[in-house]
Amino acid sequence: MKRAMKFALLMGMGLLVVTTWAQTTDAVKNNSAAAKGEEAKVDQPADAAQTAAGDYVIGADDTLHISVWKEPDLSVTLPVRPDGKISMPLLDDIPAAGMTPVLLKDLITARLKKYIADPRVTVVVTAMNSRRIFVTGEVTHTGPLPLLPHMTMLQALAQAGFTQFANPKAIYLLRTENGKQVKLPFNYKEVVKGRNPEQNIVLQPGDTIVVP
């Protein structure tokens, strides 16, 4: 009888140890999976930010800061010329317009390898002057405006403002398409009421808004 009770007690303790070990193992796995999930969540914004930054296409009149690590004589801030090129010490003219900062960095790095061992280059767009629109006529702020991502006609006019003599029903947009100038009407009164939403188009670099 005593042997049977001892055997039962040992079996119960063994079962308890196995159960505890299994629960601990599951908890460790769950915590590890959760930690990996949190790491993935933390990494996503950084990746998204890098992708967004790398998508920008450099244009004429943009200002670039090009830094070469441990080479202060090669680190410069300079504009992109109207021909789309920049000039750097040792490298002379380099095409920049139409390239992303990442592609331009790779191009400069490849050319510098002729003169420097393991060059480390950084390209930053400090002024996006190539992405501009123009507003003229009866507005309080005439001239160029920076073109923000996905900016619409309505948003641009909100920045420009109307004078008391403006005719918001007869506004139009001038855009160059395939070498020809196109005139697109915009009735501010109708659009703000929710009518003719197709007139509230997304603007492109070089567009000119005219407010009569």
**Which residue spans within the chain are E strands per DSSP?**
63-68, 76-79, 85-88, 92-95, 121-127, 132-137, 143-146, 171-177, 180-186, 208-211
User: Residue 99: exposed, middle, or buried by beta-carbon count in 10 A (0-12, 13-18, 19+)?
Assistant: buried
Q: Which two tokens stand for residue 116?
A: 């420097």
3-state SS record for 110-168: HHHCCCCCCCCEEEEEEECCCCEEEEEECECCCEEEECCCCCEHHHHHHHHCECCCCCH
User: What are the residues facing 185 on neighbouring strands?
Assistant: 172
User: What is the pLDDT at residue 202?
Assistant: 96
121-144 exposure pattern, b = at least 16 Cβ within 10 A, e = fewer: bebebeebbbbbbbbebbbeeeee
- And the tokens for 33? 């999976």
Question: Which residue ranges form the domains of the chain, and what is each CATH number?
Answer: 63-127 (3.30.1950.10), 132-211 (3.10.560.10)
Is pTM beyond 0.95? Reply is no
HSE on the CB side for 200, CA within 13 Å?
A: 18
> In this structure, what token pair is assigned to residue 48?
């998204």
pLDDT tens-digit profile, the chain (212 residues): 445 444 444 454 544 444 444 444 454 444 444 434 433 333 333 333 333 445 788 999 999 999 999 999 999 999 999 999 999 999 989 999 999 999 999 999 999 999 999 999 999 999 888 889 999 999 999 999 988 889 999 999 999 999 999 999 999 999 999 989 999 999 999 999 999 999 999 999 999 999 99
